[in-house]
Amino acid sequence: MDLVNHLNDRLLFAVPKKGRLHQQCLDLLQGSDIQFHRHSRLDIALCINLPIALVFLPAADIPTFVGEGRVDLGITGRDQVAEVRSDVEELLDLGFGRCKLQVQVPENGEYSDPKQLIGKNICTSFIGLAGEYFEKLEREASKETEKNGDNLEVEIKGGARSGITMGRLATKIKYVGGSVEAACALGVADGIVDLVESGETMKAAGLKPIATILDTTAILIKSNHPSNPQLINTIESRIRGVITAKRYILCTYNIPRAKLQAAKTITPGKRAPSVTSLDSQDGWVAVSAMVEKKNIAVVMDQLEEIGASDILVMPITNSRSHRD
């Protein structure tokens, strides 16, 4: 981090430099009006309109840098934070990069239960989470059988990150940095633990899931000792507003006051709908409420059924809201 030692007057914000979260992070920064220009070969970009320096890092390294206070703020996957047990504060679930950390085995193989993999070879880039998972399975299996056999020291091969203590396991966890899905076909592993988004890659590799260890999304994290808490609050508020705007849409309609309670049940809003009287029509009110985009068609149908009229839907380009 010698490159940023001269940036003491700027808040350091780590974002993934590549991979599945990269582009969506850039879109989020743009929506939050965090303006910057990044030179193609530099992993640091100074913001034009805020005292922020963006630091582009591998997503797997961001929890460590934030946890150690080397950078103030970061975006990474919840899986990466759990893997290194980083001491950070989660500020926001960003809602993108959704996937599962799963145990996968050959589709036409002999295994259908993760307990069948105890004592076998497992390849993964998540040796911490995989080790914890199989350690738990082994404890459960030991209680069930009431046997205390000799255990083997876990094998960690292929450049595993230091600082992770696996303990003693009969299951052999081997580190593979990429193309984990090929390990079974190449005879290196009996099963793998890897992130799965759509499942198409695993299916193409002849694999099937038999257990899910963790559901994960991209999250905004901060150091426990940030350099500029007020600026972090501003950034969090902006990002929260962008996320809300992407998730919700504004629905307005007119309805008889006698049916207002039923309408509120359909459109409760984030906190409560806005209700105003209609001057030109006694007994009628105008209602505005935020509705999740994915539900808007059904909501409009339900409003129409109870007698609402003039139902309009408008996009939200940005917003500000408190924590739920």
pLDDT over 60 at 3, yes or no: no
Q: How confident is the model at residue 151 (pLDDT cuts 50, 70, 90)?
A: very low
pLDDT tens digit sequence for 226-257: 989 999 999 999 999 999 999 999 999 999 99
Which tops the pLDDT comparison, 225 or 320?
A: 225
Residue 7's pLDDT is 73
Domains of the chain: 4-97+218-227 (3.40.190.10), 100-215 (3.40.190.10), 249-314 (3.30.70.120)
Instruction: For residue 204, give the amino acid letter.
Output: A
For the chain, give the percent of residues with pLDDT over 90: 71
Residue 54's pLDDT is 95
Residue whose C-alpha is closest to residue 13's, from 57, 72, 60: 72
pLDDT tens digit sequence for 188-204: 999 999 999 888 889 88
pLDDT tens digit sequence for 247-305: 999 999 999 999 999 999 999 998 899 999 987 778 899 999 999 999 999 999 999 99
Place of tokens 């299996």: 141
Residue 65's pLDDT is 95
Q: How confident is the model at residue 212 (pLDDT cuts 50, 70, 90)?
A: very high
Q: 13 — alpha (psi -120 to 50), left (phi > 0) or beta?
A: beta
Residue 156's pLDDT is 40
CA distance 47 to 53: 6
Residue 305's pLDDT is 96
For the chain, give the percent of residues with pLDDT over 70: 90
Give the residue ranges of DSSP H helices in the chain.
22-31, 62-67, 78-84, 127-145, 200-204, 229-247, 260-266, 296-305
Residue 201's pLDDT is 86
pLDDT tens digit sequence for 35-63: 998 877 788 999 999 999 999 999 999 99
Residue 179's pLDDT is 85
> How many other CB atoms are there within 10 angstroms of residue 54's CB atom?
24
CA distance 289 to 271: 9
Overall pTM surpassing 0.75 (yes/no): yes
Query: Average pLDDT of the chain?
Result: 88
Place of tokens 């990466």: 80
Q: How confident is the model at residue 4 (pLDDT cuts 50, 70, 90)?
A: low
Q: What value does the mean pLDDT take over residues 97-119?
A: 93
Place of tokens 């759509």: 198
